[in-house]
Structure 1
Amino acid sequence: MTPSPADTPDMSVEEFEELARRAPETVTLEYINGKLKVKPVPDQLHGAIIMWLLRECMQQRPELALYPEQGIKVPAYRAGRAKADGALAPLDHFVGQPGEWATADGVLMAVEVTSFDSDADTRDRYDKRVGYATAGIPVYLLVDRDTDSLVVHSEPDGDTYRLCRSYKYGDTVALPSPVDITLDTEKLKDYSG
């Protein structure tokens, strides 16, 4: 059976990694499900949300760190590379891992904050969710700026998460084990577009 164009990878992982090293600072490149994805540089409110979440995580779980813009190897469908807006892991977890792309082993939570671009729906709501589930990352937190909500995915099972709960900005969000952090999201209302 001949593979369809949708099943044919854009390039090899090695070719992608070389391209990503040479990409301009105005974009972030990702390789998910065999396809090249271009992610715009985050805006200031995107950065403010990540900083808010970073502080919340470190205040409640000082033995952990939320690593911004962490490259993670995600094996979904074809070998892939996702640049997580945040990866929650033990302090110094990524020290000693070679290169820009670390294994997902030991990552407790991946975080994405949507950007206002045409690819956010596919990239953040589907492709990365599948990639993070397949990599076995226990929790995937999506801060969806289009709907002013947080979507918590947990209990990875193959290429999906068994549980998915949505919360509006202002709700109290209890992130499940192994994260075990409770977010008072009232502050996110200040960052609403």
Structure 2
Amino acid sequence: MTPRTTKPQMSVKDFEELARRAPEFVRLEFINGKVQVKPVPDGNHGEIVMWLIRRCMQQRPELSLYPEQGLKVEAYRKGRARPDGCLAPEENFVGQGEWAEPGGVLMTVEVTSRDADTDQRDRVEKPDGYAASGIPVYLLIDRDACSVTVHAEPEGGSYRSITTRPFGAVVELPDPVGITLETQKLKDYAD
């Protein structure tokens, strides 16, 4: 687990105001007390998210994979993240506004971007924030490593089970997700 920032850059209320006023081409997150800029996705990134949405709809039609839903994450909800996808029951986020509670979320998804902060943000800080929020599964689709990593069994602010498979492998997403991904197609989107 990464060390937590002892003094946040600003309050959550100030961050939410900043995020609300940011131009639409800028996506902000508040992780470990730091404001972070989330890159705008490229075409391959978006295609990976759509590929996953289709797989989820085919295997679990009672669930929805919500792209870019803001979540209150980290201990005591002092973080704000905007995962590439949140798998939850239909209508889970109705009435919750821009930053929703993570209750009901079965899985968060991140697809790595081509920026310098990806390693720290998607591979270290977000798994810790999602685990601390009790989200059962975190799926990382890593275009740099051409792999899929499944984080499961959150406990004490981290995931106890972490499994990585190369693009092309069959990946089982554990309960409560219960979806099988045949990832061969991801090789086409690795660039």
Instruction: Tell me the TM-score normalised to structure 2 length.
Output: 0.95
Match of 2:183 among 162, 168, 185: 185
* CA shift digits 1:29-50 (9 cap, x unpaired): 0001111111110101000000
Any idea what SS the aligned residue of 1:110 has?
A: strand
The aligned runs of 1:102-117 (5 Å cut-off) are: 102-117=100-115
- The structural deviation recorded for 1:76 is 3.3
Partner of 2:18: 19
- The structural deviation recorded for 1:78 is 6.8
Flag structure 1 segments of 5+ consecutive residues without an equivalent.
Answer: none
Amino acid at match of 2:31: I
Q: Matches of 1:170 and 1:133 in 2, distance apart?
A: 27
Q: Matches of 2:39 and 2:9 in 1, distance apart?
A: 19
Identity percentage over the alignment? 64
The aligned runs of 1:1-193 (5 Å cut-off) are: 6-76=5-75, 79-97=78-96, 99-193=97-191
- The structural deviation recorded for 1:129 is 0.4
Amino acid at match of 2:90: L
* CA shift digits 1:52-79 (9 cap, x unpaired): 0000001000000000001000033770
Q: Matches of 1:10 and 1:94 in 2, distance apart?
A: 28
* CA shift digits 1:63-120 (9 cap, x unpaired): 00000001000033770000010000001111122x2000000100000001010111
Q: Matches of 1:132 and 1:160 in 2, distance apart?
A: 8
Q: Matches of 1:47 and 1:154 in 2, distance apart?
A: 24
Q: Matches of 2:162 and 2:67 in 1, distance apart?
A: 23
- The structural deviation recorded for 1:26 is 2.1
Equivalent residues of 1:71, 1:101 under 8 A apart: yes
Amino acid at match of 2:6: D
Q: Superposition RMSD on alpha carbons, in Å? A: 1.3
Flag structure 2 segments of 5+ consecutive residues without an equivalent.
Answer: none
Q: Matches of 1:37 and 1:146 in 2, distance apart?
A: 20
Any idea what SS the aligned residue of 1:106 has?
A: coil
- The structural deviation recorded for 1:158 is 1.4
Following TM superposition, where does structure 1 have runs of at least 4 consecutive aligned residues deviating by more than 2 angstroms?
A: 75-78
Instruction: Tell me the TM-score normalised to structure 1 length.
Output: 0.94
Equivalent residues of 2:131, 2:159 under 8 A apart: yes
Equivalent residues of 1:150, 1:168 under 8 A apart: yes
